[in-house]
Structure 1
Amino acid sequence: MSERPTRVPRVRAPELRGRGWLNTEGPLSLGELRGRFVLLDFWTFCCINCLHVLDELREVEEKYDGELVVIGVHSPKFEHEADAAALAAAVQRYDVRHPVLDDPELVTWQAYTARAWPTLVLVDPEGYVVAQYAGEGHAHAVDALLADLREEHRAKGTLQPGDSPYVAPSVPEGDLRFPAKAVRLPDGHFLVADAGHGAIAEVDADGALVRRVAEGLDQPNGLCLLPDDVAAAVGYEVVVAETVGHRLRGLTLATGELRTLAGDGHQWMQGDGTVRLSSPWDVAWHDGLVWVAMAGIHQLWTLDPRTGEVRVAAGTTNEGLLDGPLADAWLAQTSGLVPGGDRLWVVDSETSSLRYVEDGALHTAVGRGLFDFGFTDGPADEALLQHPLGAALLPDGSVAVADTYNGAVRRYDPVARTLGTVATGLAEPSGLVVDGDQLVVVESAAHRLTRVPLGASARASGSAHTTQRPVTDVAPGTLEIVVSFEPPPGQKVDDRFGPPSQLLVEATPPALVREGDGRGTDLVRTVLLDATVGDGVLHVAARAASCDEGGGEGAACHMHQQDWGVPVRVVEGGVSRLELPLSGRS
């Protein structure tokens, strides 16, 4: 295992540059923040790991209020995320409580050599970079380092607390706020996951609020009506995916009573010995069980409401598009599920794909991978989506897809294997419900439900995109991949119970790596690249555990983890060493 941190000469933090600012009165500079710690959070609002980091940093922000300024640097992956209005909506949707720099051209991203979403960079009160972290699960490490450095800078007189530059945005009023999914009730009303209000709402056929059935949820998304006989046996009718609360809840419609079916409110992490969940996004009844889109760890799970048993059904926790037997398949932030006969249709948002479970395996209908997306109709192998979040089975057996970041509803014909467009001009559609000869669309960013005739049709724009991230030129032949990791202050790598780290290396296309792919426990790996392939993406997934140095009863251990998708080009003169900082002090 490697414990080598990323060590560089003491350097000034590059200035913050972008298109504009949110959650603050005016542009901020590192110069005016001198005297305080600054934590830069490089994020993009499609990324579930980034949303996890927003939540885990809240306690750190509160603890060091006045001494620490957190700044979100929004560096978009998808074209839609580069839209200023879409970013402003996302900042409200996810309750971001610090200033945000809008960096659509990745100017500040590149200045700090970020390689992954999310990436954290800590700048000290004198304006120097002191640490960098990739992935989630680092809040305790940031806390420990701040505690050490705070005393050092207090003694030097360089820590000068000040007022927060954060200014809260105005909150729009309305019956619904960022609704996520909906289901049709037997009386023709709709049950809506009102994510922005943390509630489950009942609306009538015209979308007008009838009542708030339940409140106090932490960003609910998916809803699943149980079959009548199952509901009678278990005492509730609806399963709710409480995404930010990391729970599955059972809802009794008559009383609004909520009961916890799975999860304890804490996010599941690698090595966790308990049955915790990680951002369940959607739920659907299929083949006698409730299937769960476990977006936070790129898996499908099942819940048996009669026994309470929860188990993994598909996925390895690796993020990507890989078909095959359910246990070996890769998913990418699955956000929508819809049953259709023997198939369970799956919407994978991060690979912009429509997939399905059938005969114990995962198959892809539309989609190419993590970095390819667009707005193109036609044969399935040419068609493109952009970060879809929902789907519905249509009466003719075709599948309607909420093509969220294209603002459209698309239709996939599984017989002809073609994708067409039903409607455009929608505001981040995230859920779909069939109601007679109409499709009810949950327009999340417009805070409403909208009806679209099932026979409607529109034209796709015909655009295709690849995520605009810097490509790393690598030399043909051998490439050394080094994941650097340094335990937080007061902790150490503890290998008493086995290897404390794991490294997985794969590639798209697989032929890019001739030797050295696969899983191992060392955080350093040498791979042999095939120069004839030319370019592709290296998928590197790493995790490392650290525990309190003192050990003993009550000692705390933490898991640090991150997946990197590194676009590479094999050329003469490229680098022969790729260093990826998991956790390290500069």
Structure 2
Amino acid sequence: MGRSRVRAPELTGRRWLNTGGVPLSLKALRGKIVLLDFWTFCCVNCLHVLDELRELEERYADVLVTVGVHSPKFIHEADPDAVEAAVERYGVHHPVLDDPELTTWDAYAARAWPTLAVVDPTGYVVAQMSGEGHANGLAVLIEELIAEHEAAGTLHRGQGPYVAPPEPTTALRFPGKVIGLPGGTFLVSDTAHHQLVELEADLVTERRRIGTGARGLADGSEPRFAEPLGLFLLPEAVAAAAGYDVVVADSVNHALRGVRLADGAVTTVAGTGAQLRTRVAPGESAAELSTPWDLTWWDDRVVVAMAGNHQLWTFDPVTSAVAVLAGTTNEGLRDGPPDEAFFAQPSGLATGPDGTLWVADAETSTLRSVVSGPAVGAAVTTAVGQGLFDFGFRDGPAEGTEPALLQHPLGVTVLPDGSVAIADTYNGAVRRYNPATRAVGTLARDLREPSDLLVDGDSLVVVESAAHRLVRVPIPASTRVDRGAHTVRRARTDLAPGPPSLRIDFTPPTGQHLDSRFGDPTSLTVAASPPELLADGAGTGSGLARTLRFAVAGPVEGVLQVSVAAAACDDGDTGGRQPAELAEPAGRVSPVFAACHRYQQDWGIPVRLVADAPDELVLALRAVR
């Protein structure tokens, strides 16, 4: 097959999960095809890959062993209890190596979440790729490896090393979001049970469950959900016109569902069950969605936090029309007009009495705001937080030399006094932002992954997700906390100060090709943090290579933010069907048809300018070695 022989480094970490306590080694897995999935549980792209791999794991159960290598980004993700909870929460049914020090991550030179590496039955790395959307290519590669190693006698069929953990017994399992219902009850998304639960005012007693509890997508009186999250109770007149009362963000089904409270009947009101794979610009729409996470009412429409492609969308319950409100799909932190703003996994939404739309932007650890008609300046602004790689637990002014910091917030609500309460999930806290003073305080601490908030009189109902319960906390005056600032722990890449070249290594899977009949089917976006790091080379354009120029008198350290997308079509597809136009300046896209596949990844590469360092940075979107 023409692959070079690169011996796979051994798997080293703190402990193993889903193996019954038995440590694994690549030597013990000889004879199997091993797929290493480098992931972290904050990363929505990693969650997409977990779902993509399920079919491959079932289809090739006797020859393929998937091993998750959990490589944390945030401090909280290095906590052993949090890792164990995440493996259960997301239904990971393969062995997982807990790698808090990134030992195995570094051994495989991983640069992005997620990264996949394929090890053949004789212990050699034969492919490595970043991002999601590789399932089709992996299937082709696995078939090739089966044929090659079965003929050579080096393939061993049989049961893998996965050992299922004990079944959980709590009434709720990783609840996600909550809303109040008429009559004083509460509706909560029981995410890991794939159901909705109506609770009495005591937050414990169940009135009813909606959904069979089986993971899936089915409408009617016995509906199925897949990790439902956000909920929104429609205004009475809108509900009457739409024919249902509650909109549900059914995250893993990539769909919005409508629930009629009178009888619990469910309909799919947006989305097809398939994940959106194209870029859709503000003002445009698509049939598919991408991991809707939360919902709110703003400017006479439902706003959807579309975490899977880093955008905000709108939804009309009466017509079922959807459209992009803000965000380019680039993952990052950039304020400005809606069609230029960057988000990173928006996960919590709330509307203030003045019409401000508040957004908990999880991966940038920020609180963002959107206004529909600003008198001056940008429509999207950042209230609290610094960006993709800076987080912490610190109160005080939102700006300055020691600004207030959050850590992966997932929920937000507006308090009676107009201030904003934030479910600061990975800090286990409820924080408060005062727009008048632009300062942050802490309302509650020592919670287990709070994921949503709801004002109920003089208290807050808090969804304490990792504790599998809802609790009430009073709304006190803020207290001050400072546990310091943190940055993402990754090794820096040394580059020469002279004009370096950036190259994306992308080899289409066997049976696919880059189709240039309608222009270059690739897009490359480069930015820097701080922006002063780059004098030239930033921006979006076609191609998989670019020459960069660092500022002569600029900083010597920073982060290069790189986003790439490429469309590859199946060989023999000459029917004139056009792949996605990924680099069109106006940002418009064409649909990717059934015969085409879209590959996309974002990297944040910490760099340091050093004399005599390499003058080329190579990132692998999909490299076959």
In the superposition, the TM-score normalised over structure 2's length comes to 0.91
Residue 605 (structure 2) aligned to one of 566, 571, 583: 566
The residue correspondences of 1:368-387 to structure 2 (distance < 5 A) are 368-381=386-399, 382-387=403-408
- Give, in whole Å, the separation in 1 of the partners of 2:356 and 2:286: 30
2:579 match: none
2:116 match: 120
- Give, in whole Å, the separation in 2 of the partners of 1:296 and 1:309: 19
Structure 2 unaligned regions, length at least 5:
213-223, 374-378, 576-592
C-alpha offsets along residues 126-160 of structure 1, whole Å, 9 cap, x if unaligned?
Answer: 00000001000001111111111211111111111
Give 2:349's aligned amino acid: L
Offset, 1:533: 1.3
RMSD of the alignment, in Å?
1.4
1:232 aligns with 2:254: no
1:280 aligns with 2:292: yes
- Give, in whole Å, the separation in 2 of the partners of 1:271 and 1:467: 27
Offset, 1:398: 0.4
Offset, 1:458: 4.3
- Give, in whole Å, the separation in 2 of the partners of 1:155 and 1:28: 26
1:342 match: 355
2:160 match: 164
- Give, in whole Å, the separation in 2 of the partners of 1:225 and 1:113: 47
Which deviates more, 453-462 or 243-252? 453-462
Give 1:558's aligned amino acid: H
2:585 match: none
Instruction: Sort the Cα spacing of 1:296 and 1:42 in 2 relative to 1 into closer, same or farther, 3 A.
Output: same
1:203 aligns with 2:216: no
Residue 416 (structure 1) aligned to one of 427, 437, 440: 437
1:497 aligns with 2:510: no
Give 2:369's aligned amino acid: Y
Offset, 1:424: 0.4
Offset, 1:186: 2.2
Contact 1:411 1:421 in 2 (8 A): yes
Per the alignment, in what secondary structure is the counterpart of residue 525 of structure 1?
strand
Residue 21 (structure 1) aligned to one of 16, 40, 50: 16
Offset, 1:423: 0.5
- Give, in whole Å, the separation in 2 of the partners of 1:494 and 1:63: 29
The residue correspondences of 1:4-15 to structure 2 (distance < 5 A) are 9-15=4-10
Per the alignment, in what secondary structure is the counterpart of residue 606 of structure 2?
strand
The residue correspondences of 1:132-151 to structure 2 (distance < 5 A) are 132-151=128-147
Instruction: Sort the Cα spacing of 1:576 and 1:246 in 2 relative to 1 into closer, same or farther, 3 A.
Output: same
Contact 1:422 1:457 in 2 (8 A): yes
- Give, in whole Å, the separation in 1 of the partners of 2:307 and 2:167: 27
**Deviation beyond 4 Å, 4+ runs, structure 1:** 271-274, 456-459, 552-555
Contact 1:183 1:225 in 2 (8 A): yes
1:353 aligns with 2:366: yes
Residue 182 (structure 1) aligned to one of 154, 158, 178: 178
The residue correspondences of 1:303-452 to structure 2 (distance < 5 A) are 303-340=315-352, 341-360=354-373, 361-381=379-399, 382-452=403-473
Contact 1:225 1:285 in 2 (8 A): no
Offset, 1:498: 2.3
1:85 match: 81
Offset, 1:270: 2.0
Residue 258 (structure 1) aligned to one of 244, 254, 266: 266
C-alpha offsets along residues 191-249 of structure 1, whole Å, 9 cap, x if unaligned?
Answer: 10110111111001111211113442111110111111111111111110000110011
- Give, in whole Å, the separation in 1 of the partners of 2:512 and 2:195: 40
Residue 549 (structure 1) aligned to one of 540, 552, 571: 571
- Give, in whole Å, the separation in 1 of the partners of 2:481 and 2:196: 33
- Give, in whole Å, the separation in 2 of the partners of 1:178 and 1:99: 21
Per the alignment, in what secondary structure is the counterpart of residue 179 of structure 1?
coil
- Give, in whole Å, the separation in 2 of the partners of 1:349 and 1:82: 17
Offset, 1:457: 4.5
Per the alignment, in what secondary structure is the counterpart of residue 548 of structure 2?
strand
Determine which structure has greater relative contact order: mean sequence separation of CA pairs < 8 Å that are 6+ residues apart, divided by chain length: 1
- Give, in whole Å, the separation in 2 of the partners of 1:388 and 1:545: 33
Residue 249 (structure 1) aligned to one of 254, 257, 282: 257
In the superposition, the TM-score normalised over structure 1's length comes to 0.97
1:537 match: 559
Contact 1:477 1:530 in 2 (8 A): no
Contact 1:138 1:560 in 2 (8 A): yes
- Give, in whole Å, the separation in 2 of the partners of 1:333 and 1:530: 31
Per the alignment, in what secondary structure is the counterpart of residue 297 of structure 2?
strand
C-alpha offsets along residues 438-483 of structure 1, whole Å, 9 cap, x if unaligned?
Answer: 1010000011001100126544242210010111111112111000
Residue 504 (structure 2) aligned to one of 473, 483, 506: 483
Contact 1:338 1:344 in 2 (8 A): yes
- Give, in whole Å, the separation in 1 of the partners of 2:201 and 2:619: 52
- Give, in whole Å, the separation in 2 of the partners of 1:130 and 1:390: 41
Give 1:545's aligned amino acid: A
2:278 match: 270
Offset, 1:584: 1.6
Offset, 1:430: 0.1
C-alpha offsets along residues 71-126 of structure 1, whole Å, 9 cap, x if unaligned?
Answer: 00000000000000000000000000100000000000000000000000000000
Give 1:33's aligned amino acid: L
Instruction: Sort the Cα spacing of 1:558 and 1:218 in 2 relative to 1 into closer, same or farther, 3 A.
Output: same
Contact 1:423 1:456 in 2 (8 A): no
C-alpha offsets along residues 408-430 of structure 1, whole Å, 9 cap, x if unaligned?
Answer: 00011110110000010101000
Per the alignment, in what secondary structure is the counterpart of residue 46 of structure 2?
helix
Give 2:274's aligned amino acid: H
C-alpha offsets along residues 268-316 of structure 1, whole Å, 9 cap, x if unaligned?
Answer: 0126895200000000011100000000000000001122210000000
Residue 507 (structure 1) aligned to one of 498, 506, 528: 528
Offset, 1:555: 6.8
Offset, 1:8: 8.6
Which deviates more, 169-178 or 325-334? 169-178
Give 1:548's aligned amino acid: D
2:484 match: 463
The residue correspondences of 1:61-72 to structure 2 (distance < 5 A) are 61-72=57-68
Contact 2:450 2:464 in 1 (8 A): yes
C-alpha offsets along residues 27-64 of structure 1, whole Å, 9 cap, x if unaligned?
Answer: 10000000111000000000000000000011111111
Contact 2:286 2:323 in 1 (8 A): no
